[in-house]
Amino acid sequence: MKNLAPAIFPPEGIGDAKPGNKAVLDWVHEIATLTQPENIFWCDGSERENEFLIAESLKQNVLIELNQKKVPRSYLHRSNPNDVARVEQFTFVCTPTKQEAGPTNNWSDPTETYAKLRGLLAGAMRGRTMFVIPYMMGPEDSPLTKVGFEITDSKYVVLSLRTMTRMGEIALRRLGDDPNAEWNRGVHSLLDVNPERRFICHFPQDNTIISVGSGYGGNVLLSKKCLALRIGSYLACKQGWMAEHMLILGVESPEGRKHYVAAAFPSACGKTNFAMLIPPVHFKGWKVTTVGDDIGWMRIRDGRLYAVNPENGYFGVVPGTSFKSNPNAMQSIAHDTIYTNVALTDDGDVWWEGKDGEPPAHAIDWRGNDWTPQSKEKAAHPNSRFTTPMRNNPALDPDVEKGEGVPISAIIFGGRRSDTVPLVCQAFDWDHGVYLGATMASETTAAATGAVGRVRRDPMAMLPFCGYNIGDYFQHWLDIGKRLTNPPLIFNVNWFRKGADGKFLWPGFGENMRVLKWIIDRSEGSGGALKSPIGWLPSPHDLDLAELDIDHNAVDELLGLDHEEWQKEIAAHKEFFDSLGGVVPEELQKQREQLAAGFEL
Ligand code: OXD
Ligand code: MN
């Protein structure tokens, strides 16, 4: 069975970084008593420890060494073919009542779920090493920063978390010795990587996560979706801040005026590409820098929203990444990267669909089978991933470690829609912006198991990640707006609209700078716009389209509203709100009525 490696016994000085906090020690003791590991490995995140774990992972085939000349210090991991994406159907929010988890989460009773999980975990680590990983989410000196511990029996998780979080000593320092300090308890065991025993369970009231039966990133790197979003959003609502599925980027004009923008797109809709955007030649002197590519934590300071990226690395979708689509990502993943489920070429390099250049004549596909360009199967899994440190990104924003965060001028929502939704529009005000976010929809992607290409409502791109009742989440957004004296403007974008021929109307990638520029203009109080029932729309001449090879008709279509499509869209908003069973705040219902009235004129 893949991924299930025997215990490892490290030499002196490795694997013995025991924390001082008694609450942590008691919890580790409790989990070890339950899971019965062969030994306990206390991770410190050091270089020496990392080298040791990589060497052991290579011996046990958890990692495959790549050609170190082509991709230095980089490795390939293959997950079990039954375990390649997040499993939303097996993801649970275990609040005392079903109502607290709300209509969009799978709920299960905490007492029963703990009992079931304890049964599955009993003796689960026999013959294995139990790793205890201390980690920190957020910059060292941020008031938003959280400490978590993940117990796992997977070396892949340890190696990945070292990239994705600030791991080791730094987290122990932040936690200190106070047994009552707030910290997240995460328990992960591969068990036998069996989909029948795969559960990702969150206990928000206990700040606890238990994940079993999977070895795939989003299910097992508990820092990310589980802590930073599901538990994070619950804590954020209780503590008055925001935990969002958002990239954060900086954009600086040639004159040196800088803005930060946060953008929520569903999984695999180009957040990483947008966060690392390189402006086209026409925008000489403009610079885009990355604060984060997936998660934004935001708090109010002086009436404004300030954001930090809680993560320390990128866990990005590989297929489609190229020097054309994202040169900064290509540079980032050229070294010190763990690849999961991509293809291996005969010269020890990695390959995936959409990479620059010709496909290799022969490769080993993500399952470990021979592959040639004639093969029917894809060489890389559509949800194959890179795990790479944010430090590798040549466009990393200089303020990424700033504890107070970066001030947000604009929030962007966006989904993958072939029709109906224009390239960009601006909300009339905060509450209308919340409505745009709440009714967002997107065609589904390979990031989660299930059908691909189906339009589903995905409010604020948080449908799979909001750890409490979605109605309360909407209300939290509205409440935050009331506390902001200088709120960011809110926009909606759609890079994915298609023409009658089924082809994308907008070139996307670096050219999205043209839309970003309009968003910045609007945030600075300039930039033309026309009022429409769905918000402020640019007319074609409000967008800088110079030196862009695009047809006038395509621009008209991109910015146009089709009356019939919008009638259907508004009906779908109503259907969605109705499906939530009465939890939607009155304010958003009113927004919907106003929108509908706008189309009746
Ligand atoms: C991710 C996701 O992995 O959203 O970031 O699925
Ligand atoms: Mn994501």
Q: pLDDT tens digits, residue range 446-495?
A: 777 777 778 999 999 999 999 999 999 999 999 999 999 999 999 999 99
Closest CA to 584 of 404, 459, 444: 459
Q: What percent of the chain has pLDDT over 90?
A: 96
Ligand 1 pocket mutation pick from 230, 294, 458 by most atoms within 8 angstroms of CB: 294
For 206, residues 6+ apart whose C-beta sits below 8 A from its C-beta are 110, 185
Q: How far, in Å, are 77, 138, 292, 387 from residue 391 at the CA level?
A: 22, 15, 11, 12
For 27-61, write each residue's pLDDT tens digit. 999 999 999 999 999 999 999 999 999 999 999 99
User: For residue 137, what are the contacts with CB-CB under 8 A and spacing of at least 6?
Assistant: 145, 146, 147, 148, 165, 166, 223, 227, 228, 232, 297, 310, 311
Average pLDDT, the chain: 96
Q: Kindly tell me if the per-residue pLDDT of 317 is higher than 60.
A: yes
The pLDDT tens digits of the residues spanning 510-535 come to: 999 999 999 999 999 999 999 999 99
* pLDDT at residue 5 tops 90: no
Ligand 1 lining (C-beta closer than 6 Å): 86, 218, 267, 294, 315, 447
Q: Which atom of ligand 1 is nearest to the CA of 218?
A: 3
Residue 447 is predicted with a pLDDT of: 73
Q: Is the pLDDT of residue 2 over 60?
A: no
pLDDT confidence bin for 1, thresholds 50/70/90: very low
Per-residue model confidence as pLDDT tens digits over 262-286: 999 998 888 999 999 999 999 999 9
Q: What's the confidence (pLDDT) of residue 601?
A: 58
Closest ligand 1 atom to the C-alpha of 447? 6
Quick check: 118 pLDDT over 80? Answer: yes
Per-residue pLDDT reduced to its tens digit, 133-175: 999 999 999 999 999 999 999 999 999 999 999 999 999 999 9
Burial 67-92 (b: 16+ CB within 10 A, else e): eeeebeebbbbbbbeebbbbbbebbb
Q: How far is the CA of 289 from the centre of ligand 2 (A)?
A: 19
**pLDDT value of position 6:** 87
**pTM assigned to the model:** 0.97
